[in-house]
Amino acid sequence: MELAFALVGIVLASVLTNNIVLSQSIGICPFLGVSKKMDSAVGMGLAVMFINTVAAVICFALYKVLMAFDLEYLKIITFILIIAALVQVLDIVLKKFSPTLYNALGVYLPLITTNCAIFNTVNMLVADGFVIMAPSWQGLLFTAVYAFAVGAGFLLALVLMAGVRQNEQLALIPKPFRGFPVALIAAGLMALAFAGFLGFNI
């Protein structure tokens, strides 16, 4: 039961309280660039969520190996190599099986490498305690759930922003604020809304 509560707390904190985009301001470039259309936003969010989770599991296992050989100082380089390889595989798969989504994501697809590298560095910093103090299976579970929840928070932010930006045409927006300026204002208001979750003790 305690494990279940801990996992729920990790998910709620990662998605709402400490949302990687709206609370920590990480991943802003694809957040603003890909959120013009809902399909692109969902595709980008799912891609980041998938790569972040898979990379976290692989990096956790490799981190245990590095610890065994006293090579922890190589962890960030290792994480970046793993994530870059996964993004390249995703790039090839999307180009082959979903050209529409591949073209919609465009230049933002390689940014998954940078974002997931940052996300996973955060994941592993959080997981340091799990690696040292928890049994291996429990540390792996916490790390995987945390990485998945961070990706889910990124997906939520993209979908919310895409929903706002698709309805811009229906609103009476002054000409100087149309386009990118109103997107920045909307992002700021969303960040303020998510700041309200900090009042909850999770």
Q: Does residue 164 carry a pLDDT above 60?
A: yes
pLDDT of the residue at 126: 54
| Contact between residue 153 and residue 15 where contact means Cβ atoms under 8 Å apart | yes
Instruction: Give the pLDDT confidence of 126-156 residue by residue, as tens digits.
Output: 555 554 455 567 778 888 888 899 889 999 9
**Entry pTM:** 0.83
CA-based nearest residue to 116, from 137, 88, 140: 88
Amino acid at site 92 = I
How high is the pLDDT of residue 62? 85
SS3 sequence of 96-160: HHCHHHHHHHHHHCCHHHHHHHHHHHHHHHHHHHHHHHCCHHHHHHHHHHHHHHHHHHHHHHHHH
Query: Residue 70: left if φ>0, alpha if ψ -120 to 50, beta else—which one?
Result: left
For residue range 53-62, what is the model confidence (pLDDT) as tens digits? 888 888 888 8
